[in-house]
C-alpha cells in the first residue's frame, strides 16, 4: 500500500504562553500543500525500514514512521512489514514532513490490516508521536491551539492562488527557535484575520518565530524580500523555519534570484 504524505505551511503562528510542562501554547493555521513524500508499506518476513531521497539525521529507530508502526503494534497484532520512505520534503524547514510521514503510517496500517481502531483512537495515537502529527490526520486547513494538537476546521482557502516554497541551506531546530522568542497573546485572533483575503495579510498575519530566526539566519529575510519583489501578495516563514513561502495571484518569473532555492511551486 502506498501513500503520499503532504507537507504544510503555517498561516500565522503566535506563541501565546509557556506552559508548566515546558511546552508552549500556540495559535496557528495549518494549511496542507500538495508537496509530498512517498510512503509504501508491504508485508514482509521481517521488519525492515528503507529510506531514500533526502538524507535524514539519526538512525532508523529515530524515524517517526518506525515509531508509528511500533506504537500501533503495542495495541494490535501487526505482522512484519517493510517500510519504504522516499523523502522529498526537507527536514528542519518548518514543513512538518516527518510528522506527516508518521500520521500517514498510522493511516496506511489502519487500512492495510483493517484494524478495529476508530478515528478518535488514531488521532490520539498521532498526538503521542508529535504535536503536528494530529493535523495530518485531517485533509484540510485547521486552526491549531494548545501544543498544536487541539484542532478545529479553518474557514480559509487558497484555491486558485499560486504558491512558491523556497528554502535556504539552513536547518533550524524547533528547540533552538523556541529559545529565541518571548511568548505573548495576539492582539487580533487569527480566526478573524483569516476571514480576509491574502491581499490584506501582510501587516497583520504574523509568525512569532520569523524575526528572531531571521536575526540568526539573514538569508531567510532575503528570500522573503525576493518573493515580495516578484509580486507576492503575502510572504512568510513557515513554522520555526527555515522555509518561506509566497502567495501570488499568478505564476511569477523567479528564475533570476530564486531558482536555486525553490523546492516546490504550483497552483493550489
Q: Is 118 a catalytic residue?
A: no
Nearest-angstrom CA–CA distance, 232 and 79: 49
Distance CA 163, CA 252 (A): 10
- Which residue among 37, 87, 101, 132 is the active-site one? 132
Tell me the Ramachandran region of residue 45: left when phi exceeds 0, alpha when psi lies from -120 to 50, beta otherwise. alpha
Q: What is the 3-state secondary structure (H, E, C) of 4-38?
A: CCEEEEEEEEEEEEECCCCCEEEEEEEEEEEEECE
Please answer whether residues 26 and 13 qualify as being in contact, where contact means their C-beta atoms are separated by less than 8 angstroms: yes
Question: Under DSSP, is residue 50 helix (H, G, I), strand (E, B) or coil?
Answer: strand
Contacts of 17 (CB under 8 A, 6+ apart): 24, 25, 183, 184, 185
Name residues whose C-beta falls within 8 Å of residue 167's C-beta, 6 or more positions apart in sequence: 90, 93, 242, 243, 244, 261, 263
Cell numbers linked to 164: 512558491
Q: Is 18 a catalytic residue?
A: no
| Torsion (CA) 88, 90, 95, 97 in degrees, nearest 10 | 60
Q: Could you list the active site residues?
A: 8, 132
Amino acid at each position: 500500500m502506498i501513500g503520499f504524505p503532504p507537507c504544510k505551511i503555517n498561516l500565522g503562528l503566535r506563541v501565546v504562553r509557556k506552559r508548566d510542562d515546558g511546552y508552549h501554547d500556540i495559535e496557528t493555521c495549518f494549511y496542507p500543500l500538495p508537496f509530498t513524500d512517498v510512503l509504501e508499506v508491504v508485508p514482509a518476513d521481517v521488519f525492515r525500514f528503507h529510506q531514500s531521497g533526502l538524507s535524514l539525521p539519526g538512525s532508523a529507530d529515530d524515524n517517526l514512521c518506525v515509531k508509528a508502526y511500533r506504537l500501533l503494534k503495542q495495541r494490535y497484532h501487526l505482522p512484519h512489514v517493510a517500510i519504504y520512505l522516499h523523502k522529498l520534503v526537507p527536514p528542519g524547514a518548518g514543513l512538518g514532513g516527518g510528522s506527516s510521514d508518521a500520521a500517514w503510517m498510522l493511516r496506511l496500517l489502519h487500512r492495510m490490516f483493517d484494524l478495529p481502531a476508530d478515528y478518535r483512537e488514531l488521532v490520539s495515537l498521532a498526538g503521542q508521536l508529535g504535536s503536528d502529527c494530529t493535523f495530518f490526520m485531517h485533509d484540510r486547513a485547521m486552526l491549531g491551539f494548545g501544543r498544536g494538537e487541539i484542532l478545529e476546521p479553518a474557514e480559509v482557502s487558497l484555491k486558485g492562488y499560486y504558491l512558491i516554497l523556497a528554502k535556504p541551506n539552513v536547518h533550524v531546530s524547533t528547540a533552538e527557535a523556541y529559545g529565541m522568542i518571548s511568548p505573548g497573546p495576539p492582539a487580533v485572533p487569527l480566526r478573524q484575520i483569516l476571514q480576509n483575503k491574502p491581499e490584506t495579510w501582510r501587516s497583520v498575519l504574523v509568525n512569532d518565530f520569523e524575526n528572531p530566526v531571521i536575526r540568526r539566519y539573514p538569508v531567510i529575510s532575503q528570500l522573503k524580500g525576493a518573493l515580495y519583489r516578484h509580486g507576492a501578495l503575502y510572504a512568510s516563514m513557515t513554522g520555526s523555519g527555515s522555509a518561506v513561502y509566497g502567495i501570488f495571484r499568478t505564476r511569477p518569473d523567479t528564475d533570476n534570484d530564486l531558482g536555486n532555492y525553490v523546492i516546490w511551486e504550483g497552483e493550489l
